[in-house]
Amino acid sequence: MQTDHKRVLLAAPRGYCAGVDRAVVTVEKALELYGPPVYVRKQIVHNKHVVSTLEKRGAIFVDETQEVPEGATVVFSAHGVAPVVHDEASRLQLKTIDATCPLVTKVHREAVRFAGEDYDILLIGHEGHEEVVGTSGEAPEHITIVDNPDAVEHVTVRDPDKVVWLSQTTLSVDETMETVRRLREKFPNLQDPPSDDICYATQNRQLAVKQMAPDTDLMIVVGSRNSSNSVRLVEVAVEHGAQAGYLVDYADEIDEAWLEGVATVGVTSGASVPEVLVRDVLDWLAARGYADVKPVVAAEESLLFALPMELRKELKARGQSDKMRHDAGSLH
């Protein structure tokens, strides 16, 4: 293949979404306010670099609330928690800061509402993913998890006329629509969620990749393996025409052999990935002749969430700014 015109297509939007940004700043602000250690239940966001950087600053990541010493401060991650986790934290007299993304909270509210109306809720999402564990914990007796289109054949409900689907926020839009299509074949009166559960950030990042993929020989997605939306971006790229797609946490994980015969490299990053890691990948590629970078803009984003209320109150009480703006040295 002719590789004279080496170039990079750079997706926009990419990287940090409003929910991740807020969650990371929440831990940073908590560290500033209370001093280390600040406990964080689960990875605050699914990104290796973010977690290790916050660890160096004094965050301690734990898997379960019981691991947090009594009376300490704990931050709940962007993926959300089930009500039992809140109960447990109050039993242990922990000071909690809830960094659940407001768009995940929205899905929790939908689950509570439909369960209250005695619906069977079909939650499309990945079994075991923290967000799905949290959402299904809102109404376990009403929720059935549907992992993928093939799982539909085994789904049963009490009343096919009283059934609604909801979803995890970070799924593949196309695969989810296929799951919904099959569910509706089985349950023609299946009700839709009041609004999209797959969030704007997931949708926009997939849209950019879909635009780039047909012109891309190799797609490099910066993101961690446990990041659902990042993994989906690799799948979407390959499904839409990229010759190959790989997920890397850092530039030094790129294998030079992947560039063999490659003219156009697509670059994007998952919603939990700081831009600095993308810049490292661009530098790595430029050093190998891929210095011509063309942005592919699929959407503009300007959403910014306010910090969690618990934190805003504390910041205000101390006369400090409670605005969602980064200080120098933040993880951007």
Interacting residues with ligand SF4 (CB under 6 A): 17-20, 78, 101, 103-104, 169-170, 199, 201-202, 229, 271
Which helix (H) or strand (E) is 22 found in, with range? helix 18-34
**CA 19 to each of CA 129, 162, 268: distance values in angstroms, whole numbers, following the listed order:** 17, 32, 18
Please say which residue, 297 or 304, places its beta carbon nearer to ligand SF4: 304
Judge whether 182 and 206 are in contact, CB under 8 Å: no
User: Whole-angstrom Cα distance, residue 200 to residue 18?
Assistant: 10
The least distance separating ligand SF4 from the CB of residue 169, rounded to whole angstroms, comes to 4
DSSP string over 298-318: -------PPPPHHHHHHHHHT
The least distance separating ligand SF4 from the CB of residue 261, rounded to whole angstroms, comes to 34
Please say which residue, 13 or 245, places its beta carbon nearer to ligand SF4: 13
| Residues in the annotated binding site for [4Fe-4S] cluster | 17, 101, 199
Catalytic residue check, 131 = yes
Those residues with Cβ within 8 angstroms of residue 77's Cβ, 6 or more apart along the chain or in another chain: 23, 40, 41, 42, 43, 44, 45, 99, 100, 130
| Residues in the annotated binding site | 17, 46, 79, 101, 129, 169, 199, 227-229, 272
| Residues in the annotated binding site for isopentenyl diphosphate | 46, 79, 129, 227-229, 272
User: Whole-angstrom Cα distance, residue 159 to residue 73?
Assistant: 44
Judge whether 109 and 74 are in contact, CB under 8 Å: no
The least distance separating ligand SF4 from the CB of residue 199, rounded to whole angstroms, comes to 3
The least distance separating ligand SF4 from the CB of residue 197, rounded to whole angstroms, comes to 9
Q: Where are the beta strands (DSSP E) in 102-224?
A: 120-124, 143-146, 163-167, 218-222
Catalytic residue among 131, 153, 275, 314: 131
Please say which residue, 251 or 274, places its beta carbon nearer to ligand SF4: 274
Please say which residue, 78 or 234, places its beta carbon nearer to ligand SF4: 78
By beta carbon distance, the residue nearest ligand SF4 is 19
Indicate the SS3 state at residue 279.
Answer: helix
Catalytic residues: 131
